[in-house]
Structure 1
Amino acid sequence: MIVLCAPDALPEGQSRGFTCNGTRLLAVRRHGHVHVYENRCPHRGVALEWQPDAFLDDSGSLIRCATHGALFLIESGDCVAGPCAGEALRALPCREDDQGIWVDPA
């Protein structure tokens, strides 16, 4: 496992982008839980954000692909609207402790 950041570097309701071993990732904290996904839309393989760390829709309740408008559930990565409906973001195993937010990039 590799540390992404300190726990307080990802506040509640926020998202952040990272690069880990050459793979672009995004992390979101919602309801106290951290979710980590590969930063890659299943529709065309493009990065999801429109500017650094901007992965969420206006309500902060869904991950949004800035290129195609696809919307993904934060908790599962499932696409619920857009051109890749029925597909999902690739989740990565993660955990959090006092030392940081850890991810398994494999």
Structure 2
Amino acid sequence: MTAESPTPPIALCRLDDLGDPGSKGFLFQGRSLFAIRQGQQIFVYENRCPHRGIPLEWTPDSFLDNSGRLIQCATHGALFLPDSGECVSGPCSGEYLQQVACNIRDGQVWLD
């Protein structure tokens, strides 16, 4: 038997590619993802609403509500907390977006 080596972290984007607050979508290794920046915190999620399984945005890179504090589904207005992905308003209330582990290092956002 051979031991499998762990998958190395992969750079998604530079931290400066995201406004503050800001959001940006990515097609990454066949997965539709988006990143949310709030200050020095970054959160990455699969771009899929738990209510209907459809992408959250109508316009590229537009994942936040007008306040810039909550993630919003453009289809039915559901609102999600950026730090946990929990839906706090809308038809999928209590459900969660699928979070992708990430960290910030050397000015870049890395997927774990």
Is 1:7–1:98's contact at 8 Å kept on the other side of the alignment?
no
Q: What is the aligned-residue RMSD (CA, Å)? A: 1.0
Letter in 2 for 1:42: P
Deviation at 1:11, TM superposition (A): 2.5
Deviation at 1:20, TM superposition (A): 1.1
Name the structure 2 match of 1:12: 20
Deviation at 1:31, TM superposition (A): 2.9
SS, match of residue 41 in structure 1? coil
Letter in 2 for 1:59: S
The answer to whether the aligner puts 1:60 opposite 2:68 as a matched pair is yes
Q: 2:89 aligns with which of 59, 76, 81?
A: 81
Letter in 2 for 1:28: I
How far, CA to CA, are the matches of 2:39 and 2:84 in structure 1?
Answer: 14
Letter in 2 for 1:101: V
How far, CA to CA, are the matches of 1:89 and 1:95 in structure 2?
Answer: 18
- TM-score calculated relative to the size of structure 1: 0.93
Residue correspondences, number: 104
How far, CA to CA, are the matches of 2:93 and 2:28 in structure 1?
Answer: 27
Q: Kindly name which structure, 1 or 2, has the bigger radius of gyration based on alpha carbons.
A: 2
What CA deviation, in whole Å up to 9, does each residue of 1:4-49 have, x standing for no partner?
1112111220000001111100101113100000000000000001
Name the structure 2 match of 1:102: 110
How far, CA to CA, are the matches of 2:110 and 2:27 in structure 1?
Answer: 13
- TM-score calculated relative to the size of structure 2: 0.88
For structure 1, list consecutive stretches of 5 or more residues without a partner in the other structure.
none
Q: Sequence identity, in percent?
A: 55
The answer to whether the aligner puts 1:40 opposite 2:48 as a matched pair is yes
